[in-house]
Amino acid sequence: EVRLVESGGGLVQAGGSLRLSCTASGFTFDDYAIGWFRQAPGKEREGVSCISSSDRRPYYGDSVKGRFTISSDNAKNTVYLQMSSLKPEDTAVYYCASVVAVSACPRPKWAYIPSYDLWGQGTQVTVSS
């Protein structure tokens, strides 16, 4: 079965850090494009970051640039999202998603949701003020 599983969410105070993990099963990381998205209550789902096996650099949403870092461990089939300097407005359910059998983040818009065809179940991140 092809699936993505997120983990690492939780409750943290403003200014703190969390690391989310997205582990893939049923396919390998030889060619991959993995994105992180988030959705807060009453808001649309938004792109947080994307990393791939072929892009020279990852992509970040404007609201998280300089605070979040995406990375991958191909041996573990896992993509990480290191979140630092967290703010209450970062509170959301965080999802990872992949573009199956594609080795680059979607063009021209890496955060275009319909481009992603496999989604995890999400993990809750709550940042208290």
Q: How many CB atoms lie within 10 A of CB 89?
A: 11
Span 88-100, average pLDDT: 95
Which residue carries 């807060």 as its tokens?
A: 40
Q: What mean pLDDT comes out for the span 96-124?
A: 93
Average pLDDT over the chain, rounded to an integer: 95
H helix or E strand, kind and range, residue 51? strand 46-52
- ω into residue 41 within 30 of 0, thus cis? no
DSSP letter at 60? E
Separation CA 124–CA 6 (nearest Å)? 10
**Pair 45, 94: CB distance under 8 Å:** no
